[in-house]
Amino acid sequence: MESNHLIELENITKEYSGDKALDNINLYIRNGEFLTLLGPSGCGKTTMLRIIAGFTMPSEGKVYMDDKEVTHVPPYKRRVNTVFQKYALFMHLNVFDNVAFGLKLKKMSKKEITNRVENILELVNLKGYEKRWVEQLSGGQQQRVAIARALVNDPEVLLLDEPLSALDKKLRKGMQVELKRMQQAVGITFIYVTHDQEEALTMSDTIVVMNEGKIQQIGTPADIYNEPKNQFVAQFIGESNIIEGIMLQDYMVSFKGNVYECVDKGFERNELVDLVIRPEDVDIVPLGSAPLSGVITNVIFMGVHYAITVNCNEFSLMVHTTDLVPVGEHVSVQILPDAIHVMKKPKEVSEFEIVMDEEKE
């Protein structure tokens, strides 16, 4: 076991009356990283967080922290603190006493407590709010108190359970940047649970994509976005066109009757594969200047770009572009080699299709 593995999950399974919320999870978390557990609701990400916090016991498997097994250690003996989804601030205490709650239990001196609370409130930009009651604070401020209350205890790991989900979009964006800043300032490990892929991509060092109790992919945000391992990840992270194709040979793939150059290799000859083509990697060009052609059936203004649907005979392609092309126009679509990402076909095709259908709702 390497020393920078702060937390290790070994063969973790959690069953709720026969249903597997987590299915044989193996994961290590490095010291000081910002790790995000990302997935749709019910994928097991919150269960995983609760197992690390100690609120939930796994049905099988072991949890290690600092190379010591902590599977059955109660939460109050773990050097882990949690920021809860609905903050769970103590309404009967003011901001200072909320933040000082953990320190007072450790029987620290008054001076030391005051010192640490002041410092942490400064970190979360809440200086001067000590005497306020929780209910007098806005959602964003309550959020900061919750973070301060957890961080002030000097945990080795801070667990955050969808902490931004109750905030409005603008506030959420601001808090994302701030959370990252706080994490870098205190230099401890953050484990962050979210279903929002944008949040995950913005803040994380490592993203763990989960679905149906299983880890789908672990990687940096860029890895996950550019090299999705399977259909589920491709579909869940960003928008994608997923098209079935045939890998003719290394660096050459055919789909919908055309042959394209690509940057992937290592597949069998004529293997049936899935292709991910990100809408922003596709270009609309004048009719005839690329092999694939179609008619524009839908244009939606998205602010920065237009989301354009091109109907190419038997399938539609989503294209994101800043150029407005009117509906009904016949165009060609240019797909360059590095726009095509080839994935192995999943073995259980039907399972993924079900998930994708749910996602579209």
* Interacting residues with other proteins (CB under 8 A): 53-55, 74-76, 80-82, 84-86, 88-94, 101-102, 105-106, 133, 135, 149-150, 153
- Give the angle subtended at the CA of 38 by the CAs of 68 and 139, to the nearest 5°: 100
**Cα 103 from Cα 106, distance rounded (Å):** 5
Q: Which residue has the tokens 């044989």?
A: 24
Decide whether 70 or 80 has the Cβ nearer to other proteins.
80
DSSP string, 160-192: EESTTTTS-HHHHHHHHHHHHHHHHHHT-EEEE
Residue 57: both structure tokens together: 């016991």
The CA angle 268-221-249, to the nearest 5 degrees, is 15
Distance in Å, CB of 199 to other proteins, minimum: 21
Q: How far is the CB of 122 from other proteins (least distance, A)?
A: 20
Q: Give 79 or 265: the residue with its C-beta nearer to other proteins.
A: 79
What is the β-pairing status of strands 241-249 and 252-255? antiparallel
Q: How far is the CB of 336 from other proteins (least distance, A)?
A: 50
CB of 20 to other proteins, least distance (A): 23
Min separation Cβ 126 and other proteins, Å: 18
Q: Name the residue nearer to other proteins (CB basis): 94 or 309.
A: 94
- The first and second tokens of residue 242, run together, are 């997923």
296 token code pair:
């524009």
What are the Cα distances from residue 180, in Å, to 6, 32, 156, 200?
Answer: 19, 12, 16, 11
Nearer to other proteins, 86 or 345 (CB): 86
CB of residue 108 to other proteins, shortest distance in Å: 11
Q: Which of 126, 333 has the CB closer to other proteins?
A: 126
Smallest gap from residue 119 Cβ to other proteins (A): 17
Q: Which of 278, 164, 267, 261 is nearest to 224 (CA)?
A: 278
Q: How far is the CB of 113 from other proteins (least distance, A)?
A: 13
Provide the phi-psi class of 260: left if phi over 0, else alpha when psi is between -120 and 50, else beta. beta
Rounded Cα gap, residues 47 and 51, in angstroms: 6
* Structural contact between residues 322 and 308, judged by C-beta atoms closer than 8 angstroms: no
Closer CB to other proteins, 124 or 247, in the complex: 124
